[in-house]
Amino acid sequence: MKLFYHTGFKPWSDFLKLPQKKGLTPKSNALFTQNSYNICMKTYAYTHDPIPFDFQQSVERFHVEEIPLFAPSGRGEYLLMDIKKQDLSTWRLLNIFKEATGADDREIGYAGLKDKNATTIQRISLPKKYEKMLKHITTERIEILAKHYNHLPLKVGQLKGNRFEIILTQITENSAKHFEKIAQKMSHEGFPNYYGYQRFGEDGKSWEQGKEIAHSGKRLKGAKEKLLVSAYQSYLFNRWLSQRISLSQVIAKNTPAQAVEILGYPAPLIEDLSRQPQFFKLFLGEALMQYPSGKQSYCKDSYFDAGRFHKREIAPTGLLAGDQVSRAYADARHLEQPHDDEELTNLRGDRRLAWIWPEGFSCSYDQQKEALAVRFTLPKGAYATAFLEEVGKYSLKPERKR
């Protein structure tokens, strides 16, 4: 919001700290309270009517293929393998390779975790010296599709994204056409990058355990504790993102004068936000990132950066609270701070893209089966279910079995 530095205005975060005149008390907190967020009750960015369909995550109906970050060199001391697995978590897959080859945990590399209830293709790495031991892998749920050699092992995060093919059933032809129309719109305009319900366990409350562990001050023990604390990080991120979507909805649905009344923000700020061409509004001090990955920067001129955001050159990021993480400043920090936890220091923090664009969307409808096959690609770390929920406008989290 360069406006406030060049017209004598202070950033609105300072404005909110000043004594307020009657009628200008900030009302944004009424839109969203810290304790009101439910992982199944997130705020959707789009306003179309819900689209009914049946979603089941299974090996027959949910396919995902990892898109590697780099091509193997063809030589070296490491073996890279493209693995097709069914009904296996990545952790179980790695354990099978460990048991079959005798490799140590630290010798087996992978780029990302893939779903258990799915057919997935992902790449893992091993020192080449274990190649002869692969013959001991006999399970039919694992197929080695290709082998490559490379000078270096795989590390977590070394992937471009994931390609999905998902079959939705119990969807009428009209609903399928509506689904395609909305999905194509999202391909052009993007959608919020929420963490999926899978991140929070069967009961949706694993983040609560993570919060307790994070506040204990002790060093994390094992992968389970790290997973629980990361679920708490994800919860805070989703809560922040839901608030930001709510705020952007107010700007999108109302005149500037109405938005001033609803939010209690100063009129020049609202006018500045309203002029931005994209739905998700940028604030001064926003932590930005080259899209889909790259150098981080901060928003110093909202109108200029909004243009770059609109062209997919950059995108805003949200905080994953933790140690050694950069935080937003000024106005954006004012919105971020209620969803931060500076006591969370036993796990490294990060920043996550808040807004992403699906690519390569296509679909085909089977009228006889009333089934729609959808295909699309998302950046690494993004959840296909978050995309489907934004289109369908309801939670896909299965009911917990009692």
Helices (H), 154-276: 173-189, 206-216, 222-253, 256-263, 267-275
Cβ proximity of 39 and 383 under 8 Å = no
Helix (H) or strand (E) holding 165: strand 159-169
Q: Residue 240: left (phi > 0), alpha (psi -120 to 50), or beta?
A: alpha
Provide the pairing of β-strand 287-290 with 191-192: unpaired
Residue 319 to residue 322: CA distance in whole angstroms: 9
To 10 degrees, the CA torsion angle through 287, 115, 232, 283? 20
Asked whether the beta carbons of 151 and 78 are under 8 A apart, the reply is yes
Rounded Cα distance, 112 and 366, in Å: 32
CA distances to 32, 60, 140 from 259, in Å: 16, 47, 59
CA distance 102 to 83: 18
Name the CA dihedral angle for 311, 197, 29, 327, rounded to a multiple of 10 degrees: -60
Residues facing 165 on adjacent strands: 63, 375
Token pair recorded at residue 44: 């959707």
CA 280 to each of CA 6, 92, 238: distance values in angstroms, whole numbers, following the listed order: 24, 39, 15
CB-side exposure of 173: number of CA atoms within 13 Å? 4
Is the peptide bond prior to 19 cis by the omega test (within 30 degrees of 0)? no
- Label the pairing between strands 119-127 and 62-68: parallel
- Reply yes or no on whether 323 is catalytic: no
Q: Which of 115, 272, 340, 350 is catalytic?
A: 115
What is residue 14's DSSP assignment?
Answer: H
Catalytic residues, by residue number, are 115
